[in-house]
Amino acid sequence: MVWQKSIKIVTKVYELTEKFPHTEMYGLTSQMRRCAISIPSNIAEGWQRGTKKDYRHFLTISLGSSAELETQLIIAKSLKYTHATDAVDELLLEVLKMLNVMIAKLS
């Protein structure tokens, strides 16, 4: 469930950053996309490794990427690149909560 929601975040971030100024292609756009992609990628890698310790480690990395993305969304809004981040914000909050619960259960 968390992996599926994080895939939706990737899609939404790509749609959102399509509207950013072209000058941000190698800046905020690229960084936000990399962070978004990192979330489901690390969930998948941790799961595939097959150990509880590895899974927890990679969930923690996903959590960090989620926090980075949250910060970058705030920056994008403050630069007035967008104000339509509600869909991403909502999904990201759900993913952050789910990751925290999962990490706690694996500790």
Local confidence pLDDT in tens for the 107 residues of the chain: 999 999 999 999 999 999 999 999 999 999 999 999 999 999 999 999 989 999 999 999 999 999 999 999 999 999 999 887 899 999 999 999 999 999 999 98
CA distance 92 to 11: 12
Longest dimension (CA), the chain: 43
- Per DSSP, helices labelled H in the chain are 2-17, 28-49, 52-78, 86-106
Domain ranges of the chain: 2-106
pTM of the model: 0.95
Amino acid 51 reads T
Q: Does 1.20.1440.60 match the CATH number of domain 2-106?
A: yes
Residue type, 21: P
CA distance 16 to 47: 29
3 state DSSP class of 81: coil
User: Which one-letter amino acid corresponds to residue 44?
Assistant: A
Asked whether 68 and 42 are in contact (CB, 8 A), the reply is no
